[in-house]
Amino acid sequence: MASATGPPTTLPHRSVANIRSPPAAGYHGPSSGPSTPLRPITSAFASPSSLRAEEDLIIIEFGTRKLQVGFAGDAAPRGSIWFGPDHQRRVGDFRAWQTDYHDDWRKAAAGKPWGRDHELWQSDVRGLDLGLVGDKIERALRDAFSRYLLIDSRPRRVVCVLPSDLPIPLLSTALDSLFNRFQSPTVSLLSSPVASAVAAGMRSALVVDLGWSETVVTAVYEYREVNCGRTIRGGRMLVEQTHNLLAKHLPQARKETEAAHDSQQAQDYALSFEECDEITTRMVWCKPYHAATTTVTQTAEGLPTVQEHDESDARGYSTSGKAATATIPLKSAKPPTSLNLPYDLLTEPCENTFFDSRYSQSSFDDHELPVYLLVYRNLLNLPLDVRAICMSRIIFTGGCTGVLGLRKRIFDEVSHLIQQRGWDSVQGKATEQLRSNLKLNRSTRQASTGPTDAASQAGGSSGGGGGGEEQDGVWHDAANNTPEVDPIDEQLKRGGDKRPRVQGQMRALESLGAWTGASMISHLKTPAIATIGRDLWLQQGAAGASKASDVDPKTQQRQSLGAGGLIRGAAASSAWTLGVWGAN
Amino acid sequence: MAPLTPYTFFQCPCSEPSTLGRPADGSSGAGAGAEPDADDEDRAFDPRAPRSNYSLYPLEYLLYCEDCQQIRCPRCVAEEIVTFYCPCCLFEVPSSNLKSEGNRCTRSCFQCPVCIGPLATTSLESHPDPNLLAAPDNSAAPHSGPYILTCSYCNWSSTEIGIKFDKSNGIHAQLAKLRNGGTTRLTAKERKERRKDLLQGGGPATRTAEAAVDGRDLDVDTQFANLKAFYQNQLADSSSGGNGLSSLGDMGFASPSSLSRIMSIYTGGSLHDKRSKLRIGTMREALDSDEGLKIANLDESGAIEKLQEEGYDATVSAEQISNQTPNLGEAPLHGRGRFTSELRPIPYLLRTKRSKRCPICRHIISKPEAKVQATRFRIRLVAGSYIPSITIRPLNTPEASPGAPSDTLQPLKPVQFLLTFKNPIFETVKVTLATPAKTPGRFASKVTVLCPQFEIDANTDVWDEALKDGDKDKRRRRGEDGPHQAEAGKIWERGRNWVSLVIEVVPASLRLDLLALTNPTGGQEVDTGPLREDEDLLEIPMFVRVEWEADAAGDEIGSAPNKDKEGREKRELAYWCVLGLGRVSQS
Mean pLDDT is lowest, of A51-65, A288-302, B44-58, B253-267, for B253-267
Q: What is the pLDDT of residue A41?
A: 43
Q: Which of A38, A119, A242, A489 to mutate to test the interface with B (most CBs of B within 10 A)?
A: A38
For residues B435-458, average pLDDT: 88
Question: Do the strands A186-191 and B119-123 form a parallel or antiparallel pair, or are they unpaired?
Answer: unpaired
Would A51-83+119-200+512-584 and A202-233+361-429+502-510 be classified into the same CATH topology?
yes
- Write the DSSP assignment of B244-302 as a string of letters: SHHHHH------TT-BHHHHHHHH-S-TT-HHHHHH--------SGGGT--B-----HH
Contact of B349 with chain A, judged by CB distance below 8 Å, is answered with yes
Q: Classify residue A5 as exposed, middle or buried by CB count within 10 Å of its CB (0-12, 13-18, 19+).
A: buried
- Write the DSSP assignment of A199-217 as a string of letters: HTT-SSEEEEEE-SS-EEE
For residues B482-489, average pLDDT: 67
Domain extent listing, chain B: 7-61+389-520+530-553+566-584, 104-129+141-179+298-347, 188-216+219-291
What confidence tier does B459 reach under pLDDT thresholds 50, 70, 90? confident
What confidence tier does B222 reach under pLDDT thresholds 50, 70, 90? confident
Number of A–B residue contacts, CB under 8 Å: 353
Q: Which of A28, A105, A125, A222 to mutate to test the interface with B (most CBs of B within 10 A)?
A: A28
Among residues 388-417 of chain A, which lie with CB inside 8 Å of chain B? 395-396, 401-408, 411
Mean pLDDT (chain B) is 76
A134: which chain B residues are within 8 Å (Cβ-Cβ)? 18
DSSP reduced 3-state for A158: strand
The single-letter code of the amino acid at A99 is T
Q: What is the pLDDT of residue B471?
A: 52
DSSP reduced 3-state for A26: strand
Q: Which of B105, B259, B344 to mutate to test the interface with A (most CBs of A within 10 A)?
A: B259
Question: Other CB atoms closer than 10 Å to residue B125's CB: what's the count?
Answer: 14
Q: Do B259 and A528 touch (CB under 8 A)?
A: yes
How far apart, in whole angstroms, are the C-alpha atoms of residue B37 and residue B23? 9
Contact of A126 with chain B, judged by CB distance below 8 Å, is answered with yes
Higher pLDDT, A441 or A211: A211
> A268: which residues sit within 8 A by CB, 6+ positions away?
none
Q: Do A282 and B22 touch (CB under 8 A)?
A: no
Of A76, A138, A524, the CB nearest to B231: A524
A327: which chain B residues are within 8 Å (Cβ-Cβ)? 311-312
For residue B288, pLDDT over 50 is answered with yes
Question: Other CB atoms closer than 10 Å to residue B53's CB: what's the count?
Answer: 19
A553: which chain B residues are within 8 Å (Cβ-Cβ)? 251-253, 260
Contact of A222 with chain B, judged by CB distance below 8 Å, is answered with yes
For residues B35-59, average pLDDT: 72
For residues B127-144, average pLDDT: 51
Domain extent listing, chain A: 51-83+119-200+512-584, 202-233+361-429+502-510
What confidence tier does B45 reach under pLDDT thresholds 50, 70, 90? confident
Query: Shortest Cα distance from A542 to chain B (angstroms)?
Result: 15
Q: 3-state SS of B51-82?
A: HHHHCEECHHHCEEECCCCEEECHHHCEEEEE
What confidence tier does B325 reach under pLDDT thresholds 50, 70, 90? confident
Q: What is the pLDDT of residue A145?
A: 92
For residues B301-328, average pLDDT: 88
How far apart, in whole angstroms, are the C-alpha atoms of residue B169 and residue B173? 9
What confidence tier does B241 reach under pLDDT thresholds 50, 70, 90? very low
Higher pLDDT, B31 or A581: A581
For residue A345, pLDDT over 70 is answered with yes
How far is CA B307 from each of CA A146, A324, A344, A580, rounded to the nearest angstrom? 37, 11, 12, 42
Nearest residue on chain B to A38, alpha-carbon basis: B240
DSSP A9: G
DSSP reduced 3-state for B488: coil
Q: What is the pLDDT of residue A307?
A: 39
Q: Which helix (H) or strand (E) holds B204?
A: helix B204-216
For residue A26, pLDDT over 80 is answered with no
For residues A44-54, average pLDDT: 44
Cβ-contact B492, B504 below 8 angstroms: no
Q: What is the pLDDT of residue B462?
A: 73
Q: Do B57 and A91 touch (CB under 8 A)?
A: yes
Q: What is the pLDDT of residue A239?
A: 94
Q: What is the pLDDT of residue B523?
A: 54
- Write the DSSP assignment of A348-405 as a string of letters: HHHIIIII-TTS-GGG--GGG--HHHHHHHHHHHS-HHHHHHHHT-EEEESGGGGSBT
Q: Which helix (H) or strand (E) holds B571?
A: strand B568-584
How far apart, in whole angstroms, are the C-alpha atoms of residue B549 and residue B533? 43
Contact of B103 with chain A, judged by CB distance below 8 Å, is answered with yes
For residues B124-151, average pLDDT: 62
How far apart, in whole angstroms, are the C-alpha atoms of residue B135 and residue A375? 72
Nearest residue on chain B to A102, alpha-carbon basis: B1
Q: Do B81 and A151 touch (CB under 8 A)?
A: yes
Q: CA A284 from chain center: how many Å?
A: 21
For residue B169, pLDDT over 50 is answered with yes
A496: which chain B residues are within 8 Å (Cβ-Cβ)? 237, 281, 284
Contact of A101 with chain B, judged by CB distance below 8 Å, is answered with no
For residue A213, pLDDT over 80 is answered with yes
CATH class of this structure's domain A202-233+361-429+502-510: alpha beta
Q: What is the pLDDT of residue A370?
A: 93
Contact of A253 with chain B, judged by CB distance below 8 Å, is answered with no
> Is the preceding omega at residue B405 within 30 degrees of 0, hence cis?
no
Nearest residue on chain B to A286, alpha-carbon basis: B304
Higher pLDDT, B463 or B249: B463
Query: Shortest Cα distance from B144 to chain A (angstroms)?
Result: 35
Contact of A122 with chain B, judged by CB distance below 8 Å, is answered with no
pLDDT, tens digit (0-9, with 9 covering 90-100), for A58-89: 999 999 999 999 999 889 999 999 998 888 88
pLDDT, tens digit (0-9, with 9 covering 90-100), for A473-494: 555 566 666 667 777 666 666 5
Q: What is the pLDDT of residue A533?
A: 87
Q: What is the pLDDT of residue B18?
A: 47
Q: What is the pLDDT of residue B524?
A: 58
Q: Classify residue B464 as exposed, middle or buried by CB count within 10 Å of its CB (0-12, 13-18, 19+).
A: exposed
Query: Shortest Cα distance from B359 to chain A (angstroms)?
Result: 10
How far apart, in whole angstroms, are the C-alpha atoms of residue A219 and residue A207? 6
What confidence tier does B510 reach under pLDDT thresholds 50, 70, 90? confident
pTM over 0.90: no
Higher pLDDT, A522 or B475: A522
Q: What is the pLDDT of residue A440?
A: 62
How far apart, in whole angstroms, are the C-alpha atoms of residue A467 and residue A465? 5
Cβ-contact B265, B247 below 8 angstroms: yes
For residue A1, pLDDT over 50 is answered with no
Q: What is the pLDDT of residue B465?
A: 65
Q: What is the pLDDT of residue A138?
A: 93
For residue A575, pLDDT over 90 is answered with no
Contact of A512 with chain B, judged by CB distance below 8 Å, is answered with yes
Q: Do A92 and B58 touch (CB under 8 A)?
A: yes
Does the A51-83+119-200+512-584 domain belong in CATH 3.30.43.10? no
pLDDT, tens digit (0-9, with 9 covering 90-100), for A140-179: 999 999 999 988 888 889 999 999 889 999 999 999 999 9
Among residues 359-388 of chain A, which lie with CB inside 8 Å of chain B? none
Nearest residue on chain A to B219, alpha-carbon basis: A512
For residues B430-445, average pLDDT: 88
Mean pLDDT (chain A) is 74
Of B78, B284, B295, the CB nearest to A510: B295
Q: Do A39 and B244 touch (CB under 8 A)?
A: yes
Cβ-contact A232, A214 below 8 angstroms: yes
Question: Other CB atoms closer than 10 Å to residue B350's CB: what's the count?
Answer: 26
What confidence tier does B42 reach under pLDDT thresholds 50, 70, 90? low
CB environment B385-403: b (16+ within 10 A), e (fewer): ebbbbbebebbeeeeeeee
pLDDT, tens digit (0-9, with 9 covering 90-100), for A175-200: 999 998 888 998 999 999 999 999 99
B282: which chain A residues are within 8 Å (Cβ-Cβ)? 491-492, 494-495
For residues B235-248, average pLDDT: 51
Reference A529, options B262, B285, B239; nearest CA is B262
Reference A297, options A212, A373, A363; nearest CA is A363
Q: What is the pLDDT of residue B587?
A: 67
Cβ-contact A57, A526 below 8 angstroms: no
Q: What is the pLDDT of residue B44?
A: 72
Higher pLDDT, A175 or A430: A175
For residue A412, pLDDT over 90 is answered with yes
How far apart, in whole angstroms, are the C-alpha atoms of residue A78 and residue B481? 66
B259: which chain A residues are within 8 Å (Cβ-Cβ)? 194, 198, 223, 521, 526, 528-529
CB environment A542-560: b (16+ within 10 A), e (fewer): bebbeebeebebebbbbbb
Query: Shortest Cα distance from B31 to chain A (angstroms)?
Result: 9
Contact of A19 with chain B, judged by CB distance below 8 Å, is answered with no
Mean pLDDT is lowest, of B264-278, B350-364, B383-397, B405-419, for B264-278
DSSP reduced 3-state for B424: coil
Q: Which helix (H) or strand (E) holds A190?
A: strand A186-191
What confidence tier does B32 reach under pLDDT thresholds 50, 70, 90? very low
Mean pLDDT is lowest, of A104-118, A214-228, A521-535, B406-420, for A104-118
Higher pLDDT, A134 or A551: A134
A501: which chain B residues are within 8 Å (Cβ-Cβ)? 285
Percent of chain B with pLDDT over 70: 69
Give whichever of A152-156, A442-446, B61-65, B100-104 has the largest mean pLDDT. B61-65
How far apart, in whole angstroms, are the C-alpha atoms of residue A72 and residue A520? 7
